[in-house]
Amino acid sequence: MALLAAACSPASTTERGSRDDAASPLSATPIFPNLPRQRIVLMSSLPLVYGAGVDMAGMIAGKARPHPLYSALVQDHDLVVADVLDGKALSGARLIVLVQPRALTPQELVALDGFVRDGGRMLLFADPRLEWPAGMGLGDPAGPLRSSLVSPLLSHWGLELVDPGLDQVRLAPSQAVLVHPGQFGERPGKSGDASCRITAEGHVARCSVGRGRAVLIADADLLDPERIDVSADSARANRQWVHDIVAELDGEDSS
Protein backbone atom coordinates (compact mmCIF):
# COMPACT_ATOMS: atom_id res chain seq x y z
CA MET A 1 0.00 0.00 0.00
CA ALA A 2 2.83 2.39 0.83
CA LEU A 3 4.49 1.94 -2.57
CA LEU A 4 1.19 2.33 -4.40
CA ALA A 5 0.37 5.47 -2.44
CA ALA A 6 3.72 7.03 -3.25
CA ALA A 7 3.36 6.19 -6.93
CA CYS A 8 -0.22 7.33 -7.42
CA SER A 9 -1.02 10.15 -5.06
CA PRO A 10 1.07 13.27 -5.84
CA ALA A 11 -0.90 14.29 -8.93
CA SER A 12 -4.27 13.49 -7.42
CA THR A 13 -3.48 15.25 -4.14
CA THR A 14 -2.43 18.41 -5.95
CA GLU A 15 -5.63 18.43 -7.95
CA ARG A 16 -7.73 17.69 -4.88
CA GLY A 17 -6.00 20.40 -2.87
CA SER A 18 -6.69 22.97 -5.58
CA ARG A 19 -10.37 22.07 -5.65
CA ASP A 20 -10.69 22.22 -1.87
CA ASP A 21 -8.92 25.57 -1.57
CA ALA A 22 -11.10 27.04 -4.29
CA ALA A 23 -14.25 25.68 -2.63
CA SER A 24 -13.45 26.69 0.93
CA PRO A 25 -11.08 29.47 2.02
CA LEU A 26 -10.95 27.76 5.43
CA SER A 27 -8.73 25.04 3.98
CA ALA A 28 -6.14 27.65 2.93
CA THR A 29 -4.83 27.67 6.52
CA PRO A 30 -1.83 25.32 6.34
CA ILE A 31 -2.13 22.17 8.42
CA PHE A 32 1.61 21.58 8.37
CA PRO A 33 4.40 24.14 8.88
CA ASN A 34 6.98 24.97 6.24
CA LEU A 35 9.80 22.65 7.33
CA PRO A 36 12.95 21.64 5.46
CA ARG A 37 12.29 18.59 3.33
CA GLN A 38 12.77 15.47 5.43
CA ARG A 39 11.80 11.83 5.80
CA ILE A 40 8.52 11.55 7.75
CA VAL A 41 6.77 8.33 8.73
CA LEU A 42 2.97 8.16 8.79
CA MET A 43 0.85 5.32 10.17
CA SER A 44 -2.93 5.31 10.55
CA SER A 45 -5.91 2.97 10.53
CA LEU A 46 -7.92 5.86 9.05
CA PRO A 47 -8.37 6.38 5.28
CA LEU A 48 -5.90 9.26 4.98
CA VAL A 49 -4.33 8.23 1.67
CA TYR A 50 -7.36 7.80 -0.62
CA GLY A 51 -10.31 8.97 1.48
CA ALA A 52 -13.23 7.17 3.08
CA GLY A 53 -15.10 4.79 0.80
CA VAL A 54 -12.58 4.96 -2.05
CA ASP A 55 -11.50 1.51 -3.19
CA MET A 56 -8.81 0.57 -5.70
CA ALA A 57 -11.17 1.04 -8.64
CA GLY A 58 -12.12 4.50 -7.40
CA MET A 59 -8.49 5.45 -6.92
CA ILE A 60 -7.63 4.36 -10.47
CA ALA A 61 -10.63 6.34 -11.74
CA GLY A 62 -9.24 9.48 -10.10
CA LYS A 63 -11.80 9.64 -7.30
CA ALA A 64 -9.28 9.68 -4.47
CA ARG A 65 -9.93 12.23 -1.74
CA PRO A 66 -6.65 12.35 0.23
CA HIS A 67 -6.73 13.83 3.69
CA PRO A 68 -5.16 17.33 3.84
CA LEU A 69 -2.54 16.11 6.33
CA TYR A 70 -1.46 13.36 3.96
CA SER A 71 -1.49 15.78 1.01
CA ALA A 72 0.80 18.23 2.82
CA LEU A 73 3.21 15.48 3.85
CA VAL A 74 3.46 13.75 0.48
CA GLN A 75 3.88 17.00 -1.47
CA ASP A 76 6.62 18.57 0.64
CA HIS A 77 8.47 15.66 2.27
CA ASP A 78 9.83 12.18 1.70
CA LEU A 79 6.83 10.43 3.15
CA VAL A 80 6.81 6.80 4.24
CA VAL A 81 3.31 5.38 4.74
CA ALA A 82 4.28 2.55 7.06
CA ASP A 83 2.47 -0.75 7.31
CA VAL A 84 5.03 -1.93 9.89
CA LEU A 85 7.09 0.11 12.34
CA ASP A 86 10.58 -1.33 12.27
CA GLY A 87 14.15 -0.19 11.81
CA LYS A 88 13.76 0.00 8.04
CA ALA A 89 10.65 2.22 8.17
CA LEU A 90 12.07 4.51 10.87
CA SER A 91 15.61 4.75 9.50
CA GLY A 92 16.56 8.33 8.60
CA ALA A 93 13.31 9.83 9.90
CA ARG A 94 13.09 12.61 12.48
CA LEU A 95 9.30 12.72 12.80
CA ILE A 96 6.65 10.03 12.99
CA VAL A 97 2.93 10.85 12.87
CA LEU A 98 0.54 8.23 14.25
CA VAL A 99 -3.18 8.82 13.71
CA GLN A 100 -5.25 6.18 15.52
CA PRO A 101 -2.77 3.47 14.50
CA ARG A 102 -3.62 -0.22 14.54
CA ALA A 103 -2.57 -2.30 17.52
CA LEU A 104 1.23 -2.38 17.53
CA THR A 105 3.21 -5.53 18.22
CA PRO A 106 5.65 -5.65 21.13
CA GLN A 107 8.51 -5.36 18.64
CA GLU A 108 6.96 -2.25 17.09
CA LEU A 109 6.42 -0.68 20.51
CA VAL A 110 10.08 -1.23 21.34
CA ALA A 111 11.12 0.26 17.98
CA LEU A 112 8.86 3.29 18.52
CA ASP A 113 10.13 3.89 22.06
CA GLY A 114 13.70 3.56 20.82
CA PHE A 115 13.07 5.96 17.95
CA VAL A 116 11.93 8.71 20.31
CA ARG A 117 14.58 7.89 22.90
CA ASP A 118 17.30 8.27 20.26
CA GLY A 119 16.20 11.81 19.42
CA GLY A 120 13.13 11.34 17.23
CA ARG A 121 9.92 13.34 17.37
CA MET A 122 6.47 11.75 17.57
CA LEU A 123 2.98 13.17 17.11
CA LEU A 124 0.25 10.78 18.23
CA PHE A 125 -3.52 11.15 17.86
CA ALA A 126 -5.07 8.50 20.13
CA ASP A 127 -8.86 8.51 20.36
CA PRO A 128 -10.81 6.38 22.87
CA ARG A 129 -14.11 6.97 21.00
CA LEU A 130 -13.55 7.68 17.33
CA GLU A 131 -16.53 8.93 15.32
CA TRP A 132 -15.28 9.10 11.73
CA PRO A 133 -15.55 7.99 9.05
CA ALA A 134 -19.28 7.49 9.42
CA GLY A 135 -20.94 4.33 8.18
CA MET A 136 -18.23 1.94 9.34
CA GLY A 137 -19.17 -0.04 12.43
CA LEU A 138 -16.96 -1.67 15.02
CA GLY A 139 -16.99 -4.97 13.14
CA ASP A 140 -16.16 -3.53 9.72
CA PRO A 141 -12.76 -4.97 8.71
CA ALA A 142 -12.17 -1.98 6.43
CA GLY A 143 -12.86 0.50 9.20
CA PRO A 144 -10.42 2.18 11.59
CA LEU A 145 -9.93 1.36 15.23
CA ARG A 146 -12.77 2.99 17.16
CA SER A 147 -10.82 2.89 20.42
CA SER A 148 -7.08 3.50 20.67
CA LEU A 149 -4.85 0.52 21.50
CA VAL A 150 -1.64 2.30 22.46
CA SER A 151 -1.95 1.67 26.20
CA PRO A 152 1.27 -0.43 26.39
CA LEU A 153 3.33 2.55 25.20
CA LEU A 154 1.43 4.99 27.39
CA SER A 155 1.92 2.75 30.44
CA HIS A 156 5.64 2.54 29.74
CA TRP A 157 5.75 6.33 29.72
CA GLY A 158 3.68 6.61 32.91
CA LEU A 159 0.36 7.58 31.29
CA GLU A 160 -3.12 6.23 30.82
CA LEU A 161 -5.87 7.27 28.42
CA VAL A 162 -9.47 7.31 29.63
CA ASP A 163 -12.82 8.25 28.11
CA PRO A 164 -14.44 10.86 30.39
CA GLY A 165 -17.66 10.85 28.35
CA LEU A 166 -17.30 14.40 27.06
CA ASP A 167 -19.24 15.50 23.98
CA GLN A 168 -17.24 18.38 22.53
CA VAL A 169 -14.41 20.51 23.86
CA ARG A 170 -13.14 23.85 22.57
CA LEU A 171 -9.57 24.43 23.67
CA ALA A 172 -8.33 27.82 24.78
CA PRO A 173 -6.65 29.85 23.47
CA SER A 174 -6.41 27.97 20.15
CA GLN A 175 -10.20 27.50 19.76
CA ALA A 176 -9.53 24.03 18.31
CA VAL A 177 -12.54 21.73 18.61
CA LEU A 178 -12.20 18.16 19.92
CA VAL A 179 -15.06 15.64 19.63
CA HIS A 180 -15.59 13.00 22.33
CA PRO A 181 -11.96 13.43 23.38
CA GLY A 182 -10.15 11.30 25.90
CA GLN A 183 -8.04 12.51 28.78
CA PHE A 184 -4.55 11.52 29.83
CA GLY A 185 -3.72 10.80 33.43
CA GLU A 186 -0.61 9.82 35.33
CA ARG A 187 -0.13 6.12 35.90
CA PRO A 188 2.01 4.92 38.80
CA GLY A 189 4.73 2.39 38.30
CA LYS A 190 6.01 3.38 34.86
CA SER A 191 8.92 1.28 33.57
CA GLY A 192 10.53 3.87 31.29
CA ASP A 193 12.37 7.12 31.84
CA ALA A 194 9.80 9.37 30.17
CA SER A 195 8.88 12.69 31.72
CA CYS A 196 5.38 13.74 30.67
CA ARG A 197 3.50 16.97 31.30
CA ILE A 198 -0.28 16.83 30.90
CA THR A 199 -1.89 20.01 29.57
CA ALA A 200 -5.10 21.32 27.97
CA GLU A 201 -7.33 19.90 30.73
CA GLY A 202 -5.87 16.44 30.19
CA HIS A 203 -6.36 16.28 26.42
CA VAL A 204 -2.66 16.72 25.56
CA ALA A 205 0.50 15.19 26.98
CA ARG A 206 3.98 16.43 26.17
CA CYS A 207 6.69 13.89 26.87
CA SER A 208 10.47 13.97 26.94
CA VAL A 209 11.89 10.49 26.38
CA GLY A 210 15.64 10.15 26.31
CA ARG A 211 16.87 12.64 23.71
CA GLY A 212 13.53 12.85 21.92
CA ARG A 213 10.08 14.34 22.40
CA ALA A 214 6.47 13.42 21.76
CA VAL A 215 3.15 15.23 21.77
CA LEU A 216 0.14 13.02 22.44
CA ILE A 217 -3.39 14.21 21.65
CA ALA A 218 -6.38 12.35 23.10
CA ASP A 219 -8.56 12.84 20.03
CA ALA A 220 -8.49 12.03 16.32
CA ASP A 221 -11.94 13.35 15.38
CA LEU A 222 -10.42 16.83 15.22
CA LEU A 223 -8.90 15.62 11.93
CA ASP A 224 -12.25 14.60 10.45
CA PRO A 225 -12.21 16.17 6.94
CA GLU A 226 -15.56 17.77 7.65
CA ARG A 227 -14.13 19.46 10.75
CA ILE A 228 -10.72 20.36 9.41
CA ASP A 229 -11.64 21.22 5.84
CA VAL A 230 -15.25 22.40 5.76
CA SER A 231 -16.65 23.49 9.12
CA ALA A 232 -16.61 27.23 9.73
CA ASP A 233 -16.74 26.38 13.43
CA SER A 234 -13.47 24.44 13.55
CA ALA A 235 -11.56 24.15 10.26
CA ARG A 236 -9.23 27.12 10.56
CA ALA A 237 -8.58 26.66 14.29
CA ASN A 238 -7.98 22.90 14.04
CA ARG A 239 -5.58 23.30 11.15
CA GLN A 240 -3.68 26.05 12.92
CA TRP A 241 -3.47 24.01 16.13
CA VAL A 242 -1.97 20.99 14.36
CA HIS A 243 0.38 23.32 12.46
CA ASP A 244 1.61 24.89 15.71
CA ILE A 245 2.12 21.55 17.46
CA VAL A 246 4.25 20.21 14.60
CA ALA A 247 6.28 23.44 14.60
CA GLU A 248 6.78 23.01 18.35
CA LEU A 249 7.96 19.42 17.88
CA ASP A 250 10.35 20.39 15.14
CA GLY A 251 11.98 23.09 17.27
CA GLU A 252 15.02 22.54 19.40
CA ASP A 253 14.44 21.30 22.94
CA SER A 254 14.68 24.26 25.28
CA SER A 255 14.73 22.26 28.49
d(CA 198, CA 200): 7
d(CA 149, CA 220): 13
d(CA 17, CA 27): 9
d(CA 67, CA 52): 9
d(CA 73, CA 41): 9
Please tell me the predicted confidence (pLDDT) of residue 26: 54
pTM of the model: 0.84
Please tell me the predicted confidence (pLDDT) of residue 189: 73
Please tell me the predicted confidence (pLDDT) of residue 10: 40
Calculate what percentage of the chain has a pLDDT beyond 70.
Answer: 77
DSSP result, 39-72: EEEEEESS-TTT-TT--HHHHHTT-----HHHHH
Please tell me the predicted confidence (pLDDT) of residue 170: 97
Nearest to 8 by CA among 28, 34, 16: 16
- Residue 208 β-bridge partners: 195, 213
Domains, in order of start, for the chain: 2-250 (3.40.50)
Q: Which residue has the higher pLDDT, 125 or 1?
A: 125
Let me know: does 185 contact 160? Beta carbons within 8 Å.
yes
Q: Which residue has the higher pLDDT, 236 or 254?
A: 236
| H-type alpha helices, 55-188 | 56-60, 68-76, 87-90, 106-117, 151-156
pLDDT tens digits for range 192-202: 789 999 999 99
Let me know: does 148 contact 99? Beta carbons within 8 Å.
no
pLDDT tens digits for range 23-78: 455 557 899 999 999 999 999 999 898 766 555 555 555 566 788 999 999 999 99
d(CA 154, CA 169): 22
pLDDT tens digits for range 205-223: 999 999 999 999 999 999 9
